[in-house]
A and B are shown apart, each in its own frame.
Chain A
Amino acid sequence: MNKITQKTTAAPAGLSRRKLLQASAATAGMAVGAGVIDGFPAIHAADPIVIRYAGTGVNAFRELSEQCKADTGIEIQYTTLTSDDVVKRAVTQPTSFDLLDSEYWMLKKIVPSGNLRGMDVSKVKNYDKIVPIFTKGELPDGTKTSRTGIAPIKVSYLQGAESTEFSESPTDFMTLIPTVYNADTLGIRPDLIGRPIESWKELLNPEFKGKAAILNIPSIGIMDAGMVAQAMGEITYGDMGNMTKEEIDKTIAILIEAKKAGQFRALWKEFNESVNLMASGEVVIQSMWSPAITKVRQQGINCVYQPLKEGYRAWAAGLGIPTHVDGKMLDACYEFINWYLTGWAGAFLNRQGYYTAVLDTAQAQMEPWEWAYWMEGAKAEKAVVSPTGEKIAEAGEVRDGGSYWERMGKVAVWNTVMDEDRYMVRKWNEFIAS
């Protein structure tokens, strides 16, 4: 249907792609939009649409873009960036991408800039099936999830399509359509520690002097530190996700004291650094992300993602559309997002150790035993292999932390941006400098 109009708008020399899109959108927009809502199949193979997708490498998998191209004809051009650069690009140069893959806490920085549009939930086919963590702030069985820190529900909705204000209650306009999320805890080397680890406070246990590491992304690191300080009984927070200046001072003071005593071997910032620190034995206990554990294990090194009695620190990421995107490109973005939620991508990401936003469709794409291993905490029937071909677990092993419910149900806090963010970053810099 849209092929005809595309042919008539054969690119005049010197006309930018965007202008071209706007021009053709005027005529083709409605028709294409209708096609997307009705169902998939508008295959764009004849004139592939290229979506510039900016985000970190967390889920910028080639396999995803290839599958998407095969299913919908839409081409994904990844601009892979470090987490810092994602936020900076989103705020200062929104026209440099068409689709943004961002973490929920970053929204507190990005949304006030007015660069993200509220996404019309009626265009998202599987909207009703998105786990209620994002739409209601509760688990599928109805229990409320923690609201400490930037719980996704706090920033999931905007008051209007062009609003820069979050809405506490669901509206028709979503900031991000969730893609992956997870519950984080400490990673440990049981072979080098030799005893059970049960609490966050072990991170600052002098026993691991010079062999511990913490995450140097203030929004995340401060929460790890908060979990530790609370577990040690040093601080009882009013709201750990939104500390007062005094609480920040105390937390940072504990970190500084530990640092001066030589507790930390290093602070890490990117995923891969944590893998190297752990695999090389420089560090035996540290804040870590689930797939990083998998990666260390693949190198034949025993590494456990240790569930702790105080609970998990969780995070979530999703796809957002910048305001400059319109017409055909906007439709393509919705089409891509719809494709994302149809299961193939969900299954792929589940097998990486993340959780996906729409569980039903992902389950349909996974073997029952796979689902049982990843989601239900069951013993693996056979050896578990990642989508990229590496062995993750032997038959008979169980996932660290157990089932989805056991893990997501025990989330204590979310990554955060506090009201005292500026003060916190300043103090964090003091911790680094001390």
Chain B
Amino acid sequence: MPSERRSRSFYVLATIFALFVLFLYGPILTILVLSFQGPDGGLVFPMRGVSVHWFVDLFQPQSIGDIWGAFDRSWKLGLIVLVLTVVLSFLAGLAFRRRFKGSTLLFYVVVASLIMPSVVVSLGIGALFELLGWERNWWSSALGAHLTWTLPFGLLIMFAVFNRFNPAYEEAARDLGASGFQTVRYVILPIVAPSLIGVALFGFTLSYDELARTSQSGGALNTLPLELQAMQTNATTPVIYALGTLTTALSVLVITVCLVAVLILQRRRAALGSDAGRGV
């Protein structure tokens, strides 16, 4: 679209976007402020002094709850879920581009998994492992539970990604003698790759923050949300806010660094006259 028409609507939309981001960060701002509570302060206002006490405390062992052990499990699980979600949804997304027997059934099973209250799914998986006499673990039963949650999102987003995907590209590839695998690997994958980032983000975020489906399928060692939730059965200190602030700060830092790196690379490439890295 020509740029001269864009300018005004651009600013209007940019403002809406900025307000939305501000809204998203509302709770985070509160967390940020309250993580600097004084040593006697609680999880709510009033502030009882200002200190970095809780950031220091975060790195001490807690009386109740093992934050770092749980954190360690959660991000690993999140990464495993991320990879599996991307791969399985991508493959299934390809499958759904053609009619196959049972595709409707599979589609509704996937949707049902989205609807079924998570507590029920969780109980079922826990009970299944009990019946089989298998030990429940974050990397077995909980992983399965997470996949029943992330895959519906992954698959449906793949539908949006493959939405009106022009078959001409594949036909061209095939005409040039590419095998099915080659077509996927060298034609389809590069085109949809940027969109897979969305699936990956969903996969990780949903898993990292999953609570209800893990509650009965998690085994003896808790994931982070479960541990934090269980800590609510006793007195919780602003240490959890310190964790929130730290997570956010680190994420922002990492993303900024990556962004700067990418921009520098792009400058260099631009200088060399390449258009690689530009959007589709």
Contact = CB atoms under 8 A, between A and B. Distances in A.
Contacts of A60: 64, 234
Interface of A: 16, 52, 54, 56-58, 60-63, 77-83, 85, 88-89, 92-97, 270-273, 275-276, 279-280, 291-292, 295-296, 298-300, 388, 390
B215 interface: yes
B133 interface: yes
B232 interface: yes
A427 to B, nearest CB: 21
A97 B63 contact: no
14 contacts: A57-B65, A62-B63, A62-B64, A79-B220, A81-B233, A83-B233, A93-B126, A95-B130, A97-B220, A276-B43, A280-B45, A291-B234, A296-B42, A298-B40
B270 to A, nearest CB: 52
B216 A88 contact: yes
B136 interface: yes
Contacts of B203: none
A96 B130 contact: yes
A270 B216 contact: no
Given A80-B64, A95-B133, A276-B43, A271 B127 contact: no
B41 A291 contact: no
A82 B123 contact: no
Contacts of B135: 16, 95-96
B256 interface: no
A62 B220 contact: no
A62 B62 contact: yes
A295 B216 CA distance: 30
SS of B interface (majority): loop
B233 A57 contact: yes
A52 B221 CA distance: 9
Nearest to A56: B233
A280 B30 CA distance: 14
Interface of B: 40-45, 48, 61-66, 123, 126-127, 129-130, 133, 135-136, 215-216, 219-222, 226-227, 229-236
Nearest to A50: B220
B113 to A, nearest CB: 20
A57 B135 CA distance: 23
Contacts of B41: 299
Contacts of A275: 42-43, 235-236
B98 to A, nearest CB: 41
Given A89-B126, A93-B127, A80 B63 contact: no
Contacts of B219: 79, 96
Contacts of B123: 88, 92
Contacts of B221: 77, 79
Given A57-B64, A60-B64, A80 B233 contact: yes
Contact of A82 (B40, B64, B129, B233): B233
Contact of B44 (A62, A83, A94, A279): A279
Contacts of A276: 42-44
A55 B235 CA distance: 15
A80 B130 contact: no
Contacts of B63: 61-63, 388
Most buried by A among B42, B61, B215, B236: B42
A422 B219 CA distance: 29
B222 A292 contact: no
Contacts of A80: 64-65, 222, 227, 230-231, 233
Contacts of A56: 230, 233-234
A291 B220 CA distance: 26
Contact of B235 (A54, A92, A291): A291
Most chain A CB within 10 A, of B219, B227, B233, B236, is at B233
Contacts of A52: 220
B219 to A, nearest CB: 6
Contacts of B62: 62
A153 to B, nearest CB: 26
Contacts of B129: 93
Contacts of A79: 219-222
Contacts of A78: 66
Contacts of A57: 64-65, 230-234
Going nearest first, the 9 A-B pairs with the smallest beta carbon separation are A80-B230, A280-B44, A57-B234, A57-B233, A270-B232, A56-B233, A272-B232, A295-B235, A299-B42
Given A89-B216, A291-B235, 15 more contacts: A54-B220, A57-B64, A57-B65, A58-B233, A62-B66, A89-B126, A92-B123, A93-B136, A96-B220, A272-B232, A279-B44, A280-B44, A291-B234, A300-B48, A390-B40
